[in-house]
Amino acid sequence: MSRTGVFIVLDGTEGCGKSTQARMLRDRLVAAGSNVLLVRDPGTTRIGEQIRSILLDPDHGEMSMRCEMLLYMAARAQMMAEVILRALEGGNIVLSDRFVSSTLAYQLGGEGLTAADIRSVADVAIRGHWPDLTVLLDMAAAESLARVKREKDRIEQRPIEYHEQVRKNYLAQAAADPARYQVVPADRDERAVHEDVWAAVSPLVARAFRP
């Protein structure tokens, strides 16, 4: 089947506003007449949500980085098979709160994992359906972590130095592939951030659905 939809990811460090911005973008696209599927990664499917619980549970501190990476990919494989492919093939817009870009930021370098390792496994999991655009919501790691008011999950509990490296890994992805990434400063009012997200996304949507 040919792919006719548009696949957009919102990503970034903990507490940067991904979920809020994803909902705001979905609502604006729907108001403009688009058919939109909003998913969260990992999660969305029954199996994906169970994997999410395993990944984020602080009791699983013994989990190796390679196991962690593979579990994220397994959740994506199920989400791709169960919901994303169908939506894209139906000509819809898919918005994902995180995706492979997260693994290229959070698991890169762990136990020697390279970007090539991660991308090769991801290509199998997502069947080559890479996002058309990843909007990276960028802010300092200390500031973004300070926004997390609930009890921190297994990943959020890692040292600040880890999260600072995660931010660098995100920015390196964007610098290496500017055609598919847009960086939006996230340390501002959510409406201002949303307008910049909309400015990044709307030209792609307009081109994709031009009569």
In 3D, which of 84, 77, 78, 74 has the Cα closest to residue 54? Answer: 74
Exposure string over 17-32, b if 16+ CB within 10 A, otherwise e: bbebbbebbbebbeee
Q: What is the pLDDT of residue 40?
A: 98
Q: Which uninterrupted H or E stretch holds 170?
A: helix 160-176
Q: What is the pLDDT of residue 158?
A: 97
Q: What is the pLDDT of residue 210?
A: 80
The ranges of the chain with pLDDT < 50 are: 1-3
Q: What is the pLDDT of residue 115?
A: 98
Domain borders along the chain are 6-208
Question: Helix, strand, or coil here: 85?
Answer: helix
Q: What is the pLDDT of residue 1?
A: 33
Q: What is the pLDDT of residue 164?
A: 98
pLDDT digits (tens, 9 = 90+) for 35-86: 999 999 999 999 999 999 999 999 999 999 999 999 999 999 999 999 999 9
pTM of the model: 0.95
Pick the CATH number of 6-208 from 3.40.50.300, 3.30.565.10, 3.40.800.10, 3.40.50.720: 3.40.50.300
